[in-house]
Structure 1
């Protein structure tokens, strides 16, 4: 049952080689179908529409005379958003005809998504004198607040009667969050909103009047979670307002739409059955690979496909272990969080764990599909393609070194020339991906020209010339030349017994 082309001597028997490979292919296709059912059964298009609905409401909804969260440019914009669009989005207390919502229907966003617990505001500050003032200005400027870093966080109590108290990351069960400017700790000064719009408005007004957001503030978070029972999805939402030392604000956001309660309807239980079959397949492949390793010893690891087999098995075991752990943690914490509806429900860790599980599952599906080339490489056409890639690998490697020298040189040049004026070149990271976009035909020439009327056009034209007209054509020439050589060699060889011949032989033998 575990017979493969690596456990049998198929070098002299082409028919045995094809028969063994075909059997492996059929088993693997069944495994791939099962994996796809499990993977796609855990997601749906409803996930996108749910996320899009929440993003439209909290990022792009505006009140008269008030900018949206996405358009926030200064602290005053956020204050107007907090008292306007934010509260309007969180609290739906009237129907569209003006009638009040009944008490049983309160707490539903869009009248369909249950707000779990209370929303929470969290703020991070840095200490005064966390940066150095130039000697020429020390007499006029007495305060200096630097960029955010955990070691210069201000944790002192402030506000009227010491009402604003700092809580550590462990006290809040928080996690580090990456914004555009920095990685922010899970601690900070917190303020939970109320269950009604009127009470929450009083809370936000009190924060504004007492200057809760000050000169040392570097980040303000709004965290809350909603659940849609119609599609059994949670949306864990985080709106972040980053305040750089330069002044102004940078809005950032995170919408994690996840399926934390796995098994509810009939389709979910079909997925559960397929998960059991998936585990059986993994046990089968573990035994198969162990037999191959025992037979070939160290030479087993010299094959790319064998290493890919081990990688798929390793990722699969991670998925299985992660799924079991996630299920246990979700069941325990979900019950605890839902038991306290009058406080902030921290679903951040649960959503993070589920998102990482989805990421690992996506990587597994990718490598599982790549692995299918292992079983169809005996075909003449596939042999031609794989031989071309393997033979030109050294030339492509040498070309890649030359290409990236040019590429990163232009990325650094663009960052240094235009980084102060053009967003696409504001960091070396952005400059790198901007050049990749230029290769794909997505570019903003006007921005370069406005930044520097002389060097901008020169930079763009020379990059396009070297990359498009020289380097990419060299790459195509390497591939084309190698492909021609391989094709000529295969054409001069005697035709071997192919899969088509084997299937035709089986077909005619069955007819007789």
Structure 2
């Protein structure tokens, strides 16, 4: 192809005749816009998997975008939590839960009777909540009257009591005379709503949940409503002490009490954290006390520091990502229809999007609500009112839980983008294939498991803590599978049935049923591994990165042709028929780097060469096409890849053997090393000048020798024809002369029977001389033909010699004319070989007119004129 230029002025004539130029149909603005939008949301489900490279490129783009989304999500997650929250919670729990009472060594964790409630209120609560003195008994200022000197109490602490009616249960007839009152287990329907006690203040009156803006609470025994009788303590220790004494003296808690709640909130400005505390005292119908608690350390004020504002920016980016993925899922639903909902990965995508939308909505709601709460709290100068942060603390905890679940599923979703790799598909393929078998066997497993759980609950539920409920029994048996069990407790509860229960459970469930699950999964995994080993090698994401790296190294003159060949074997099957033809392999080896140039043309795609010559491709194909059908099958392709891998290992071993010091780092370093190792700079200049002179004169020499050879051939042909005609003429004359002589002698003898014998002898000698001359001429013709044949044989030997030397020069040229050496160094190597082969090489180079042109076209795709110019 001659050098031409397109409208943009870019030369593309340097590509040879095999370069491919594709032009797409011109599109309008709307077509370009829709194409751009479609490219932004193109996914693997909308891309044909037959074109493996496009499929991998689309997957890689999806993976990169999703990794950015995952990084943003992790930044948000770790921005709202930290290890400081744990230490803050631990300090507050130690202050209220682990501090012993003044008259006993018991703590709130071990409290079990009603008296322990008053011990907690009169000592632990007052001492831990009101810090009026420093460690040296100096009085603290009111502004520093904080818990542990660091945590500000927001508002007043609040007690809330729930009671039941005295007729809430039915007494047996035999005991009605002795027992007049009966207080049932708590339920919302039997709450006591009547006033009680000596006065009409709030602690003696019933308030509904709406009046208190309360919420239900799930404690250890049951779920309690947000109603009840309330008492807000004073923010001063002296007044709070009097309030507690007043409640105790007037029997604020009695037989009707079923639960007492203590709620308060503290704020630490040093770390910008809230701690919403709820301590629950449950008084069951059996008597006694069951304490429980919750310390919710949350970050409600989100935007304070510079890091917080960075988190806010990430939140906006997160919102944009959710919008992006919403549009993507809508496009996929439109493209795939009902088939979209049959994919587990698509359902996981929808789950992540829904959870993210809920988190975004709650984040906005939390920000508005917290601002209103803080504003209302600050309007009370003395902060004597109760600040209800329970709702925010609870839903902030639920928000953290939703974010944690969202992050979990977001990480699991990564398998969606890496599952196309054969190695990565082992887990998903194994689980999906054995799902039915596992589900079928799980039914049998859980039948036996729940039978043991119910048996344990009925046998030990009244005596062993771990079996007190059916749910606890289930989790206890699950822990037993993991080795966490207490054999002595069940043995103490039942010395006969306890060991029998334990041994039978361990044998049937642990040794038999549980190992059946492992056997099913292991068998399926073996099948998947075997199938993966037999699968054909496809173009994977690792190959995509190898190709990109190889292209980059090619620009630096260090291209790895083994990588090109390996990728060509995986990508050349254009029609996806499982076999590789010569044309498919050739097109991929010679043309695979796509570069787009667009100026005034709508689209112009140029396909660049891979530096493989036709002879190399033909030799490579012929070597592995064992059956000669011009098609490389799966076994032949596998053998080819194995040889490539073996060659790569050999090269790596050679590189390790040579050591890093013997390898040049760059192409320039390689060129300098070659030149420095061969000749000096002065000798190089002399050789270059001689090469220039030789290249300048070799063209005319070739033309002259061509003309001489043509003339010699013409003369040889003319001489041959003349000799042939002369020999035919002489042969005909000899035959005619012999016939006439024989005829005349016989006639003379017949006519002159009395003629003398000497006359007859002369006639015979004359005939014999003619025959001898004819024989001599025949011998001369034979010698001439032999000489001519010898000349032809010599010419054939010369041409054979020419072919051998040309092949040697061509081999030297191809070895030196690669990406790691410049054309000048290649010329030096060729000329050095010429001097080694002496003048015969130069003469043979000039004798053949066709071979140099052929070789030049195979070296770089240039014409002979360009070769001689170089």
Tell me if both proteins adopt one fold, taking TM over 0.5 as the criterion. yes
C-alpha distance in 2 between matches for 1:494 and 1:172:
70
C-alpha distance in 1 between matches for 2:199 and 2:248:
16
Pair 206,472 (structure 1): closer, same or farther in 2 beyond 3 Å: same
1:127 corresponds to which residue?
Answer: 165
Q: How does 1:188-227 map to 2 (within 5 A)?
A: 188-227=228-267
Asked if the contact 1:124/1:217 (under 8 Å) is kept, the reply is: yes
Structure 1 residue 333 displacement after superposition: 2.3
Q: State the Cα deviation string for residues 98-146 of structure 1 (Å, max 9, x = none).
A: 111122212x101000011111111111001211112221111111100
C-alpha distance in 2 between matches for 1:501 and 1:195:
70
Asked if the contact 1:7/1:291 (under 8 Å) is kept, the reply is: no
What is the number of residues matched between the two proteins? 510
C-alpha distance in 2 between matches for 1:381 and 1:393:
20
Q: How does 1:80-119 map to 2 (within 5 A)?
A: 80-106=119-145, 108-119=146-157
Q: How does 1:184-263 map to 2 (within 5 A)?
A: 184-263=224-303
Structure 1 segments unaligned to the other structure (5+ residues): none
Q: How does 1:488-507 map to 2 (within 5 A)?
A: 488-507=530-549
Asked if the contact 1:89/1:109 (under 8 Å) is kept, the reply is: yes
1:35 corresponds to which residue?
Answer: 73
Of structures 1 and 2, the one scoring higher in RCO (CA 8 A, sep 6+) is 1
Structure 1 residue 498 displacement after superposition: 2.0
* 1:473 correspondence with 2:512: no
Structure 1 residue 354 displacement after superposition: 1.4
- Which of 372, 375, 397 aligns to 1:332? It is 372
Q: How does 1:2-401 map to 2 (within 5 A)?
A: 2-9=41-48, 11-66=49-104, 67-106=106-145, 108-163=146-201, 164-340=204-380, 341-401=383-443
Structure 1 residue 387 displacement after superposition: 1.2
Asked if the contact 1:337/1:346 (under 8 Å) is kept, the reply is: no
Q: State the Cα deviation string for residues 293-341 of structure 1 (Å, max 9, x = none).
A: 1111111112111111111111111111121122112212221133331
1:445 corresponds to which residue?
Answer: 487
C-alpha distance in 2 between matches for 1:306 and 1:125:
51
C-alpha distance in 1 between matches for 2:77 and 2:188:
38
Q: Based on CA coordinates, which of the two structures has the bigger radius of gyration?
A: 2
C-alpha distance in 2 between matches for 1:204 and 1:312:
50
Structure 1 residue 385 displacement after superposition: 2.0
- Point out 4+ residue stretches in structure 1 off by more than 6 angstroms: none
Asked if the contact 1:415/1:428 (under 8 Å) is kept, the reply is: yes
Structure 1 residue 509 displacement after superposition: 1.3
C-alpha distance in 2 between matches for 1:123 and 1:493:
70
Asked if the contact 1:68/1:85 (under 8 Å) is kept, the reply is: no
1:485 corresponds to which residue?
Answer: 527
Q: TM-score, normalised by structure 1?
A: 0.98
Asked if the contact 2:102/2:123 (under 8 Å) is kept, the reply is: no
- How large is the RMSD of aligned CA atoms in angstroms? 1.1
Structure 1 residue 255 displacement after superposition: 0.9
Q: TM-score, normalised by structure 2?
A: 0.58
